[in-house]
Structure 1
Amino acid sequence: MIFLKGSVLKFGGSSLATIDKIEHVANIILKHSVNHEIVVVVSAMMGETDRLVSLGNQIFDNHHPEREMDQLISNGETITAALLALAIKKRGRDAVSLTGWQAGIHTTYHPQNATINSCDTTRIREALDRGQIPVVTGFQGVSNSDVTTLGRGGSDLTAIALSNALKAELCWIYTDVEGVYNVDPRMVPDAKLIPQMDFETLYKIALSGAKVVQFQAAAYAKKMEQAIRVCATHKPGAGTLINAQRVTTPPLIAYKRGIVLIQATKKGLEILEERQDQLGIFENLQNEKIVAFEMEETRVSNLIINERLDEEIIKTDSRWCVISIHYSISPFVEAMLKKELKTYFLISNDSIMFLFPEYLLQDQLIKINHLLDFKQIKDKEPVDCKP
């Protein structure tokens, strides 16, 4: 069995957006590498994947040839890995950039949405034994000798899968926020940092739309119990440790955009409730019910036609969002939220979801955060993300 005497470090696109930022990341890597083996995973420079997709769209605006799109969009990570390896070499340490297939990342053949089957880390181990720092392209792998990509945020999955395959003690995810917060700090200025959480909690908030760790990566970490630390690249300080230890957290708020609502007759609701791709049947305080779907409006229209629901549909409405609260709160607080928010809701064992028009998203996140009163978060000793 191959063991890594150190950690896997993953850097996102915002951390690598410019040459100056790449140089800064190289300094972080060198500090980590003192007396430790380090494997690095990188995303494409911020905006690069979108640029490559746009180039493909100029030729094929719909139904892209999937293999060629994977070949195209995987280049963003390849460029970043080479640039970062050069920056490390400039500082006197040897480094080698490795693409997904060179690093032994074998995937299913689902272009632009592949999943990792296995990691053959032989070549990474050989590089480490030569004293090199392997810089691996995230987001990509290989299936039947063809390049595959892992979907948006797939570099997180690459890093966690490699950490598990190498038996690394910790997978560091460096990003543009200081850790995992109770709510998106880009949307809510007084969001609170969560010092520690367990795998199950990370999985639930990622499933509900939290972007700090890709959902598939959170699921993989939970399954394999791979410890993660999330912290900021450009602002050393407190981070979030994610491991198997169960800890109490305050209510956590996540959200998803792009929700389509369907108002239907009783028969229509019964048919739609049976579908696996619906978010659920929501209701309001007047006991009116509505079905929410996380899909494009055109797909919802096709669904209505395919299910022969034309006569059962009263109304469809797009551009909504769903805000999820994961919590253990009293029935009193639950009743207060339903009364104050005045919208459709859905309650499960440990969460409650609310629907809002997308243009109200930020206002409602701020309002919910205020209503839940996060004074209950106790100050804990911060974990320094400096290596």
Structure 2
Amino acid sequence: MQTIVAKFGGPAIATPEKIQQVAKKVINEQAKGINLVVVVSSMASVRRELRQFAQEITDQPSKREMDVLVATGAQMTSSLLAMAIQEQGGKAVSLTGWQAGIYTNSTHQNARVDTVDTARLKKHLALGEIVVVAGFQGITEDECISTLGKGGSETSAVVIGVAIGAERIDIYSNVDGIYTADPMIVQQASKLKELSYDEMLELANLGAHILHPRAVELAKKYFMPIVVRSNQSDVEGTLIKGDIEMEKNLIVRGVAYESDIIRLTIGYDSYETASLSEVFSILAEHDINVDIIVQAVIDNVKPTISFTISKDEFAESLRVLESSKLSLGFSFADFEVGLAKVSIVGSGMASNPGVAARMFARLGKEHIPVKMVSTSEIKVSVVVPQDEMIRAANVLHDEFNLAVKVMNQ
């Protein structure tokens, strides 16, 4: 019998009424003759309330105790969904992450899954039950509750799917698939029938928040197909897998954007005092994520290192740099706010030279200044003024002919 893992989160489980709708949907799915494991996250309102409770107790809660506290949110959702399935005549059982056999390392709040013991999951599936698993959590070797960090529920779904040999992972969302751009800012955006793992990874890392990169990386590693589909309507979603069929020979298959980018620049009196490794080692030690990096070394000009960070990490980055100024040996630091990153992604770019030139030419024609550039085999990213972000996304979507209704071909 075919086995599918379905993940529900966010808007799909925001209220008891919506949980009842999910119950109806999963009962109908099971009725198609499949074994079904459902992974759920916590309600956003409950998650916020749990964190607020902790803040009212202490300004510095231990990571271990926060894992114990926050894990209860998804446990509540899994229990409510199991009740709703039973109320509608289905057979269901709820399991916590550790009851589902998810064993992790001991890094609280950002644990990594080591193994999954599938015995209990398979026992319940053999009984014809829909197994509802609390996502985002597991248990350490010394039997402490752990949570998996950002993208934890999607990660739970993928590792369970891999462990039990599922046919695929269905990610139910408030969108009905992956689009060539965010339909909220690009009206001509079209839904894609398929995406490769690499394309989805780039889009996820570049600002498309439908899937977390960590879950996509795991799916790619174990060749686990993922379908992103609607939690509101029964329509075809977007399949994410290894090899894809090129749609209308689209070289570029998606446009992504990320707002609130800050460019930090540090300068040195001489090249001998500049050290890329030391700068980024110190930032990494403080868990500061750096994106686009540009080093300028020109004769008779003081060398500089520029890099981009998110707005949320700006204050911490300045503090770290200032406290390390003597050891790093830089003479000045500057920053620029009000920036955004706009990117084009497509696996066809690897075998089609000239895509970047075409991108720059169109932005130049539209008088949109490009402040920094980053490339990989299947993507090109540019940093532009934030007030030009939406226009840049739209003109690039138009430049690469992404307005075709690819799902209707």
Q: Are 1:198 and 1:242, in contact at CA under 8 Å, matched by a contact in 2? A: yes
1:75 and 1:359 mapped to 2: Cα distance? 41
Provide closer, same or farther for how the CA distance between residues 317 and 268 of structure 1 changes in structure 2, counting only shifts above 3 A: farther
Of 278, 296, 306, 1:290 maps to 306
AA partner of residue 152 (structure 2): G
1:142-157 equivalent positions in 2, closer than 5 A: 142-143=139-140, 144-157=142-155
AA partner of residue 322 (structure 1): K
Of 324, 327, 335, 1:306 maps to 324
How far does the alpha carbon of each residue in 1:27-64 deviate from its partner, in whole angstroms, 9 at most, with x for none?
Answer: 11011101211111111123322222222222233x33
AA partner of residue 264 (structure 2): I
1:355-374 equivalent positions in 2, closer than 5 A: 355-356=383-384, 358=386, 361-374=389-402
- Bigger Rg, which one: 2
Moved more, 35-44 or 257-266: 257-266
1:244-255 equivalent positions in 2, closer than 5 A: 244-248=242-246, 250-255=252-257
Aligned to 1:41, the other structure's residue is in SS state strand
1:56 and 1:296 mapped to 2: Cα distance? 23
Q: Are 1:297 and 1:318, in contact at CA under 8 Å, matched by a contact in 2? A: no
2:360 and 2:388 mapped to 1: Cα distance? 21
Moved more, 110-119 or 51-60: 51-60
How far does the alpha carbon of each residue in 1:165-221 deviate from its partner, in whole angstroms, 9 at most, with x for none?
Answer: 010111111010111112223443332211101112112222223211111101101
Provide closer, same or farther for how the CA distance between residues 106 and 186 of structure 1 changes in structure 2, counting only shifts above 3 A: farther
Provide closer, same or farther for how the CA distance between residues 103 and 186 of structure 1 changes in structure 2, counting only shifts above 3 A: farther
2:27 is the alignment partner of 1:18: no
Q: Are 2:261 and 2:308, in contact at CA under 8 Å, matched by a contact in 1? A: yes
Q: Percent identity?
A: 28
Provide closer, same or farther for how the CA distance between residues 366 and 289 of structure 1 changes in structure 2, counting only shifts above 3 A: farther
How far does the alpha carbon of each residue in 1:332-362 deviate from its partner, in whole angstroms, 9 at most, with x for none?
Answer: 4123145242031213233222224556544
Provide closer, same or farther for how the CA distance between residues 370 and 257 of structure 1 changes in structure 2, counting only shifts above 3 A: same
How far does the alpha carbon of each residue in 1:281-307 deviate from its partner, in whole angstroms, 9 at most, with x for none?
Answer: 3599xxx97321346123212331324
User: Residue 319 of structure 1: CA displacement?
Assistant: 5.9
Q: Are 2:268 and 2:332, in contact at CA under 8 Å, matched by a contact in 1? A: no
1:149-298 equivalent positions in 2, closer than 5 A: 149-248=147-246, 250-265=252-267, 270-272=274-276, 275=280, 277-282=289-294, 290-294=306-310, 296-298=313-315
Provide closer, same or farther for how the CA distance between residues 266 and 369 of structure 1 changes in structure 2, counting only shifts above 3 A: farther
Q: Are 1:320 and 1:356, in contact at CA under 8 Å, matched by a contact in 2? A: yes
Query: What is the match of residue 323 of structure 1?
Result: 342
1:255 and 1:60 mapped to 2: Cα distance? 37
1:47-126 equivalent positions in 2, closer than 5 A: 47-61=45-59, 63-126=60-123
Query: What is the match of residue 141 of structure 1?
Result: 138
1:194 and 1:82 mapped to 2: Cα distance? 35
AA partner of residue 20 (structure 2): E
Provide closer, same or farther for how the CA distance between residues 344 and 283 of structure 1 changes in structure 2, counting only shifts above 3 A: farther
Moved more, 17-26 or 299-308: 299-308
AA partner of residue 334 (structure 1): M
Provide closer, same or farther for how the CA distance between residues 186 and 151 of structure 1 changes in structure 2, counting only shifts above 3 A: farther
2:151 and 2:183 mapped to 1: Cα distance? 19
AA partner of residue 298 (structure 1): A
Q: Are 2:266 and 2:331, in contact at CA under 8 Å, matched by a contact in 1? A: yes
AA partner of residue 47 (structure 1): S
User: Residue 378 of structure 1: CA displacement?
Assistant: 5.8
User: Residue 370 of structure 1: CA displacement?
Assistant: 3.8
Q: Are 1:268 and 1:313, in contact at CA under 8 Å, matched by a contact in 2? A: no
Query: What is the match of residue 385 of structure 1?
Result: none
TM-score (norm 2): 0.83
Provide closer, same or farther for how the CA distance between residues 246 and 267 of structure 1 changes in structure 2, counting only shifts above 3 A: farther
Q: Are 1:262 and 1:313, in contact at CA under 8 Å, matched by a contact in 2? A: no
Moved more, 257-266 or 76-85: 257-266
Moved more, 161-170 or 289-298: 289-298
Query: What is the match of residue 371 of structure 2?
Result: 344
Q: What count of residue pairs does the alignment treat as equivalent?
A: 375
Aligned to 2:275, the other structure's residue is in SS state helix
1:217 and 1:312 mapped to 2: Cα distance? 41
2:34 is the alignment partner of 1:36: yes
Aligned to 2:180, the other structure's residue is in SS state coil
Q: Are 2:374 and 2:382, in contact at CA under 8 Å, matched by a contact in 1? A: no
Moved more, 159-168 or 196-205: 196-205
Provide closer, same or farther for how the CA distance between residues 268 and 223 of structure 1 changes in structure 2, counting only shifts above 3 A: farther
User: Residue 13 of structure 1: CA displacement?
Assistant: 1.8
1:60 and 1:360 mapped to 2: Cα distance? 42
2:153 and 2:373 mapped to 1: Cα distance? 32
User: Residue 379 of structure 1: CA displacement?
Assistant: 2.9
Q: Are 2:110 and 2:147, in contact at CA under 8 Å, matched by a contact in 1? A: yes
Aligned to 2:56, the other structure's residue is in SS state helix
2:382 and 2:370 mapped to 1: Cα distance? 7
User: Residue 317 of structure 1: CA displacement?
Assistant: 3.5
TM-score (norm 1): 0.87
